[in-house]
Structure 1
């Protein structure tokens, strides 16, 4: 099975390194200094106190890597629309596209059932590019749990977590999902195939929806914003609004809001990805993590006053910082 990881940053690079170490036929699409470093000396993985250099096949041009069985899309959500034509060139008739992107996915309402079946989310798929050029039938969903970073070009440092939950939009336990699960498991990762992946999407999104923009607005780490009474209250209000939306869509939550916030506090002095992007002068995942929830709220008729307020503030924060 030929696997290509499109976007070999922290998470994509971690996946690529683990698969390559396990002997999988894996290639990576990257760019800039990170790509140059991988091409000249391989990909260095720092994990469990050890450092190992992994030879990898990497290119900026998907056409150089040939046809693939599985393409794992591991980019920030706002980066995807610009590379849709490049990704599409890697997709043969039977290629699976694994959507390892944060936030509500563009394919969310594919095989969902009900009145919103087939609805396209403009906040994460402007103009329906991904729906039209990729096609939702080839998508396999993925919820990413590991944390990693890129301390320097060509180096991936694993911080915590090894689980990549997989799931078909239809909820079926498919051969392609099981094949990818087996490859990831052989690489030392956890890759359960879930019949209700959307439940996990929302539980993770609960935190991303609230913690990320609050941290960008306040510059507070998770332990602080989850325990300060004011910001904890804002996060709670945002989560309750999101929960009301998700319940309308048939989602089942295995934990309640208070436990989810306590889980964020337990992570400690962690700077969210949105805060890290703001500090580094990179565009933030505002629409995928916050705007998409507001959009779905409108679709199902659930008011989101707190989400709308925080969304307006963080969008202005990005504009003032020159990132929008």
Structure 2
């Protein structure tokens, strides 16, 4: 299996690097500057599960020579349109695309561009960052990757990818219900991003305010209702876990969207909050909280674009 990884940043570099370490054939599709860095210093991973430094194969977009067996897509949601154009020459009739993006909107976009038979579902649970000197730093013991066919079929390519990751320290799971897992994640993510972003506070800080827990749980349950109406009802265990979280006055948990807002960075407003707002409206449900959270995020983007942060 020839894997083409778009980028060699934190997530793509980590998972792609581990595949190289495990003996897989991996090509990193990168910008010219990153290609020079990789040529001179190699791909560098610092991790509790073993540091890894090695030369890797890296190309720029004009050097794509043909289809890959699998394209690993790890861009931010707001970069998806340009990422689609970048990978297009590497997508052939039998190419699989494994996106590891937040939310679900990217699945719809990739299905429209390449057809659902080429697009896998996937989730990554890992804390990694790319340092200023180009090292991929693994920050804790999370190293989970979950993937599967949208149809639920345990296909040959899914089993081959699982076998490739089984030769690494990554804890990979090939599952028949990846879309259900992705819907649960978007229920959680759109709730915590909407509320912690809107309130500019952690879950615990919101919970300590009168009515705060009730607000978060109400939004969670509305999002779960939307998922159920799409055919992906969250499990009782999932709902109980997040009800407990949103009642925890000591929790320091915040969404990455809030952290991006606090540092003045770009955010995935349309991909997460806009996506769920659209689904709420399509179900004919009350969209008040979703609309306010989305307008807040878009107003932040307007202010950021004007350089007023």
TM-score when normalising by structure 2: 0.86
Note if contact 1:222-1:268 (Cα within 8 Å) is conserved in structure 2: yes
Match of 1:192 among 173, 178, 182: 173
Q: C-alpha distance in 1, partners of 2:219/2:15?
A: 32
Instruction: Tell me which residue corresponds to 1:259.
Output: 241
1:175 matched to 2:159? The reply is no
Q: C-alpha distance in 1, partners of 2:258/2:100?
A: 20
Instruction: Tell me which residue corresponds to 1:289.
Output: 272
Note if contact 1:59-1:65 (Cα within 8 Å) is conserved in structure 2: no
- Larger CA deviation: 240-249 vs 99-108: 99-108
1:119-268 equivalence runs, <5 A: 125=109, 130-160=110-140, 161-221=142-202, 224-225=205-206, 231-254=212-235, 255-260=237-242, 262-263=244-245
- Note closer, same or farther for the CA distance 1:240–1:52 as it changes in structure 2 (3 Å cut): same
- Note closer, same or farther for the CA distance 1:219–1:299 as it changes in structure 2 (3 Å cut): closer
Instruction: List alignment gaps of at least 5 residues for structure 2.
Output: none
Q: C-alpha distance in 1, partners of 2:231/2:278?
A: 17
Offset of residue 261 of structure 1: 5.2
Tell me the secondary structure at the aligned position of residue 195 of structure 1. Answer: coil
- Larger CA deviation: 241-250 vs 98-107: 98-107
Tell me the secondary structure at the aligned position of residue 173 of structure 2. Answer: coil
Tell me the secondary structure at the aligned position of residue 174 of structure 2. Answer: coil
Listed one character per residue, the Cα deviations across residues 211-269 of structure 1 (whole Å, up to 9, x for unaligned) are: 22434444434554566555544332221111111111221323244522545869964
1:313 matched to 2:296? The reply is yes
- Note closer, same or farther for the CA distance 1:60–1:272 as it changes in structure 2 (3 Å cut): farther
Q: C-alpha distance in 1, partners of 2:34/2:63?
A: 19
Instruction: Tell me which residue corresponds to 1:114.
Output: none
Note if contact 1:236-1:257 (Cα within 8 Å) is conserved in structure 2: no
Instruction: Tell me which residue corresponds to 1:322.
Output: 305
Listed one character per residue, the Cα deviations across residues 98-152 of structure 1 (whole Å, up to 9, x for unaligned) are: 12111014435xxxxxxxxxxxxxxxx4xxxx44432222111101111211122
Note if contact 1:4-1:70 (Cα within 8 Å) is conserved in structure 2: yes
- Note closer, same or farther for the CA distance 1:84–1:323 as it changes in structure 2 (3 Å cut): farther
- Larger CA deviation: 24-33 vs 133-142: 24-33
- Note closer, same or farther for the CA distance 1:105–1:177 as it changes in structure 2 (3 Å cut): farther
- Note closer, same or farther for the CA distance 1:49–1:147 as it changes in structure 2 (3 Å cut): same
Note if contact 1:27-1:57 (Cα within 8 Å) is conserved in structure 2: yes
1:100-119 equivalence runs, <5 A: 100-107=100-107
Note if contact 2:49-2:169 (Cα within 8 Å) is conserved in structure 1: no
CA RMSD of aligned residues (A): 2.8
Q: C-alpha distance in 1, partners of 2:3/2:299?
A: 39
Offset of residue 162 of structure 1: 1.6
Offset of residue 209 of structure 1: 0.8
Note if contact 2:191-2:223 (Cα within 8 Å) is conserved in structure 1: no
Tell me the secondary structure at the aligned position of residue 163 of structure 1. Answer: strand
Q: C-alpha distance in 1, partners of 2:294/2:80?
A: 21
Q: C-alpha distance in 2, partners of 1:182/1:269?
A: 37
- Note closer, same or farther for the CA distance 1:21–1:266 as it changes in structure 2 (3 Å cut): farther
Listed one character per residue, the Cα deviations across residues 288-319 of structure 1 (whole Å, up to 9, x for unaligned) are: 11111111222233333211211111211222
Note if contact 2:106-2:271 (Cα within 8 Å) is conserved in structure 1: no
